[in-house]
Chain A
Amino acid sequence: GQNIDQPTEMTATEGAIVQINCTYQTSGFNGLFWYQQHAGEAPTFLSYNVLDGLEEKGRFSSFLSRSKGYSYLLLKELQMKDSASYLCAPTSGWGKLQFGAGTQVVVTP
Protein backbone atom coordinates (compact mmCIF):
# COMPACT_ATOMS: atom_id res chain seq x y z
CA GLY A 1 0.00 0.00 0.00
CA GLN A 2 0.96 3.65 -0.06
CA ASN A 3 0.73 6.51 2.42
CA ILE A 4 0.68 10.00 0.96
CA ASP A 5 0.93 13.12 3.08
CA GLN A 6 0.43 16.67 1.86
CA PRO A 7 -0.87 19.79 3.65
CA THR A 8 -4.59 20.37 3.61
CA GLU A 9 -4.53 24.05 2.73
CA MET A 10 -2.12 26.87 1.90
CA THR A 11 -2.83 30.55 1.40
CA ALA A 12 -0.67 32.99 -0.55
CA THR A 13 -1.02 36.36 -2.21
CA GLU A 14 -1.09 37.05 -5.92
CA GLY A 15 2.41 37.23 -7.38
CA ALA A 16 3.96 35.21 -4.58
CA ILE A 17 5.53 31.73 -4.58
CA VAL A 18 4.06 28.68 -2.88
CA GLN A 19 5.68 25.29 -2.34
CA ILE A 20 3.46 22.25 -1.77
CA ASN A 21 5.26 19.35 -0.14
CA CYS A 22 4.33 15.71 -0.51
CA THR A 23 5.80 12.73 1.29
CA TYR A 24 4.94 9.19 0.36
CA GLN A 25 5.63 5.62 1.34
CA THR A 26 5.09 3.06 -1.38
CA SER A 27 5.48 -0.67 -1.85
CA GLY A 28 6.80 0.06 -5.33
CA PHE A 29 7.64 3.30 -7.08
CA ASN A 30 7.70 4.28 -10.72
CA GLY A 31 7.30 8.03 -10.72
CA LEU A 32 5.13 10.76 -9.25
CA PHE A 33 2.45 12.93 -10.79
CA TRP A 34 1.03 16.29 -9.81
CA TYR A 35 -2.49 17.18 -10.89
CA GLN A 36 -4.46 20.41 -10.54
CA GLN A 37 -8.16 20.29 -9.79
CA HIS A 38 -10.51 23.27 -9.70
CA ALA A 39 -13.60 22.88 -7.56
CA GLY A 40 -16.15 20.56 -9.16
CA GLU A 41 -13.96 19.91 -12.18
CA ALA A 42 -11.78 17.08 -13.44
CA PRO A 43 -8.13 16.82 -12.38
CA THR A 44 -5.71 17.96 -15.07
CA PHE A 45 -2.11 16.85 -15.49
CA LEU A 46 0.65 19.23 -14.37
CA SER A 47 3.87 17.25 -14.13
CA TYR A 48 5.52 13.85 -13.93
CA ASN A 49 8.85 13.09 -12.23
CA VAL A 50 10.49 9.70 -12.53
CA LEU A 51 14.12 10.67 -11.79
CA ASP A 52 15.49 12.74 -8.90
CA GLY A 53 15.71 16.45 -9.47
CA LEU A 54 13.76 19.44 -10.62
CA GLU A 55 11.47 19.59 -13.65
CA GLU A 56 10.49 23.09 -14.72
CA LYS A 57 7.49 23.93 -16.85
CA GLY A 58 6.70 27.60 -17.05
CA ARG A 59 5.51 28.94 -13.71
CA PHE A 60 5.28 25.43 -12.27
CA SER A 61 8.19 23.25 -11.17
CA SER A 62 8.22 19.84 -9.54
CA PHE A 63 10.99 18.19 -7.55
CA LEU A 64 11.53 14.57 -6.62
CA SER A 65 13.82 12.77 -4.17
CA ARG A 66 13.22 9.05 -4.41
CA SER A 67 15.51 8.16 -1.51
CA LYS A 68 13.58 10.49 0.80
CA GLY A 69 10.13 9.67 -0.54
CA TYR A 70 9.60 13.38 -1.08
CA SER A 71 8.32 15.68 -3.78
CA TYR A 72 7.27 19.28 -4.00
CA LEU A 73 5.35 21.40 -6.46
CA LEU A 74 6.47 25.01 -6.75
CA LEU A 75 4.05 27.59 -8.08
CA LYS A 76 5.64 30.91 -9.00
CA GLU A 77 4.09 34.30 -9.82
CA LEU A 78 0.78 33.16 -8.40
CA GLN A 79 -2.36 34.18 -10.23
CA MET A 80 -5.95 34.12 -9.00
CA LYS A 81 -6.70 31.28 -11.42
CA ASP A 82 -4.16 29.11 -9.56
CA SER A 83 -6.64 28.80 -6.67
CA ALA A 84 -7.33 25.07 -6.83
CA SER A 85 -6.55 21.76 -5.20
CA TYR A 86 -3.19 20.16 -6.06
CA LEU A 87 -3.00 16.38 -5.95
CA CYS A 88 0.19 14.40 -5.38
CA ALA A 89 0.02 10.97 -7.01
CA PRO A 90 2.87 8.46 -6.82
CA THR A 91 2.61 5.47 -9.11
CA SER A 92 3.89 1.96 -8.62
CA GLY A 93 3.71 1.39 -12.34
CA TRP A 94 1.23 -0.92 -14.06
CA GLY A 95 -0.84 2.15 -14.89
CA LYS A 96 -2.11 2.69 -11.35
CA LEU A 97 -1.91 5.98 -9.49
CA GLN A 98 -2.51 6.54 -5.80
CA PHE A 99 -3.77 10.03 -5.02
CA GLY A 100 -3.18 12.13 -1.94
CA ALA A 101 -6.12 14.02 -0.44
CA GLY A 102 -4.94 17.22 -2.11
CA THR A 103 -3.71 20.63 -1.00
CA GLN A 104 -6.17 23.48 -1.41
CA VAL A 105 -4.28 26.61 -2.49
CA VAL A 106 -6.07 29.88 -1.89
CA VAL A 107 -4.69 32.89 -3.73
CA THR A 108 -5.67 36.27 -2.28
CA PRO A 109 -5.44 39.67 -4.00
Chain B
Amino acid sequence: DADVTQTPRNRITKTGKRIMLECSQTKGHDRMYWYRQDPGLGLRLIYYSFDVKDINKGEISDGYSVSRQAQAKFSLSLESAIPNQTALYFCATGGTGGHEQYFGPGTRLTVT
Protein backbone atom coordinates (compact mmCIF):
# COMPACT_ATOMS: atom_id res chain seq x y z
CA ASP B 1 0.00 0.00 0.00
CA ALA B 2 1.13 3.53 -0.76
CA ASP B 3 2.53 5.56 2.13
CA VAL B 4 0.92 8.81 0.94
CA THR B 5 -2.49 8.69 -0.71
CA GLN B 6 -4.56 11.42 -2.31
CA THR B 7 -8.23 11.48 -3.20
CA PRO B 8 -9.62 12.09 -5.70
CA ARG B 9 -6.97 11.39 -8.35
CA ASN B 10 -8.84 13.36 -10.97
CA ARG B 11 -11.58 15.92 -10.64
CA ILE B 12 -13.42 18.21 -13.02
CA THR B 13 -15.48 20.97 -11.43
CA LYS B 14 -17.16 24.20 -12.40
CA THR B 15 -16.24 27.74 -11.53
CA GLY B 16 -17.59 28.78 -8.14
CA LYS B 17 -17.87 25.30 -6.69
CA ARG B 18 -16.30 24.33 -3.39
CA ILE B 19 -13.96 21.39 -3.60
CA MET B 20 -11.85 19.45 -1.13
CA LEU B 21 -8.75 17.42 -1.86
CA GLU B 22 -7.71 14.90 0.76
CA CYS B 23 -4.37 13.48 1.76
CA SER B 24 -3.58 10.62 4.11
CA GLN B 25 -0.24 9.17 5.15
CA THR B 26 0.92 6.08 6.99
CA LYS B 27 4.55 7.18 7.40
CA GLY B 28 3.99 8.62 10.87
CA HIS B 29 5.40 11.99 9.79
CA ASP B 30 4.52 15.18 11.59
CA ARG B 31 5.06 17.48 8.62
CA MET B 32 2.63 17.69 5.73
CA TYR B 33 2.56 19.95 2.69
CA TRP B 34 0.34 20.91 -0.24
CA TYR B 35 1.87 21.98 -3.57
CA ARG B 36 0.50 22.81 -6.96
CA GLN B 37 2.38 22.19 -10.17
CA ASP B 38 1.87 24.10 -13.40
CA PRO B 39 3.83 23.57 -16.63
CA GLY B 40 7.00 25.64 -16.62
CA LEU B 41 6.53 26.84 -13.06
CA GLY B 42 7.60 23.87 -11.02
CA LEU B 43 6.14 22.97 -7.65
CA ARG B 44 4.83 25.84 -5.56
CA LEU B 45 3.99 25.56 -1.88
CA ILE B 46 0.39 26.37 -0.92
CA TYR B 47 0.24 25.45 2.79
CA TYR B 48 2.24 23.40 5.23
CA SER B 49 1.77 21.99 8.71
CA PHE B 50 4.43 20.85 11.16
CA ASP B 51 1.99 19.21 13.55
CA VAL B 52 -1.74 18.98 14.17
CA LYS B 53 -1.98 22.43 15.77
CA ASP B 54 0.31 24.17 13.31
CA ILE B 55 -0.80 25.62 9.95
CA ASN B 56 1.32 27.93 7.81
CA LYS B 57 0.80 29.72 4.52
CA GLY B 58 3.11 28.99 1.65
CA GLU B 59 3.91 31.23 -1.29
CA ILE B 60 0.51 30.93 -3.04
CA SER B 61 -2.15 30.44 -0.34
CA ASP B 62 -4.75 32.91 -1.67
CA GLY B 63 -7.96 31.11 -2.66
CA TYR B 64 -7.08 28.01 -0.65
CA SER B 65 -7.60 26.79 2.91
CA VAL B 66 -6.45 23.68 4.74
CA SER B 67 -7.40 21.51 7.68
CA ARG B 68 -5.13 19.17 9.64
CA GLN B 69 -7.66 16.76 11.05
CA ALA B 70 -5.10 14.38 12.52
CA GLN B 71 -1.41 13.65 12.24
CA ALA B 72 -2.15 11.44 9.25
CA LYS B 73 -4.64 13.66 7.42
CA PHE B 74 -4.28 17.04 5.72
CA SER B 75 -6.97 18.36 3.41
CA LEU B 76 -6.92 21.25 0.95
CA SER B 77 -10.05 23.22 0.10
CA LEU B 78 -10.87 25.58 -2.72
CA GLU B 79 -13.76 27.63 -1.39
CA SER B 80 -14.82 28.95 -4.78
CA ALA B 81 -12.90 27.32 -7.60
CA ILE B 82 -11.70 29.43 -10.54
CA PRO B 83 -10.18 28.28 -13.87
CA ASN B 84 -6.64 29.39 -13.02
CA GLN B 85 -6.66 26.86 -10.19
CA THR B 86 -6.55 24.14 -12.82
CA ALA B 87 -3.33 22.30 -11.97
CA LEU B 88 -1.76 19.13 -10.63
CA TYR B 89 -1.86 19.12 -6.82
CA PHE B 90 0.57 17.15 -4.69
CA CYS B 91 0.53 16.35 -1.02
CA ALA B 92 3.85 15.55 0.66
CA THR B 93 5.06 14.48 4.08
CA GLY B 94 8.34 14.90 5.91
CA GLY B 95 9.85 13.68 9.14
CA THR B 96 11.27 16.04 11.74
CA GLY B 97 14.63 14.28 11.65
CA GLY B 98 15.41 15.12 8.07
CA HIS B 99 14.39 17.30 5.21
CA GLU B 100 13.37 14.78 2.57
CA GLN B 101 9.77 14.91 1.49
CA TYR B 102 7.63 12.03 0.24
CA PHE B 103 4.99 12.83 -2.32
CA GLY B 104 1.55 11.43 -2.95
CA PRO B 105 0.48 10.45 -6.49
CA GLY B 106 -1.16 13.79 -7.20
CA THR B 107 -4.66 15.07 -7.98
CA ARG B 108 -5.34 16.48 -11.40
CA LEU B 109 -7.92 19.24 -10.98
CA THR B 110 -9.69 20.95 -13.87
CA VAL B 111 -11.92 23.96 -13.25
CA THR B 112 -14.17 24.84 -16.18
Contacts and interface: CB of A to CB of B under 8 A. Distances in A.
Could you say which interface size class chain B belongs to? Answer: 20 to 34
A31 B99 CA distance: 9
B26 to A, nearest CB: 15
Interface stretch (A37-45, A53-61, A63-71, A74-82): A37-45
A102 B99 contact: no
Interface residues of A, number: 23
Secondary structure call for the A interface: loop
B48 A42 contact: no
Interface of B: 31, 35, 40-45, 48, 50, 88, 90, 94, 96, 99-106, 108
Interface of A: 4, 8, 30-31, 33, 40-45, 48, 87, 91, 93, 95-102
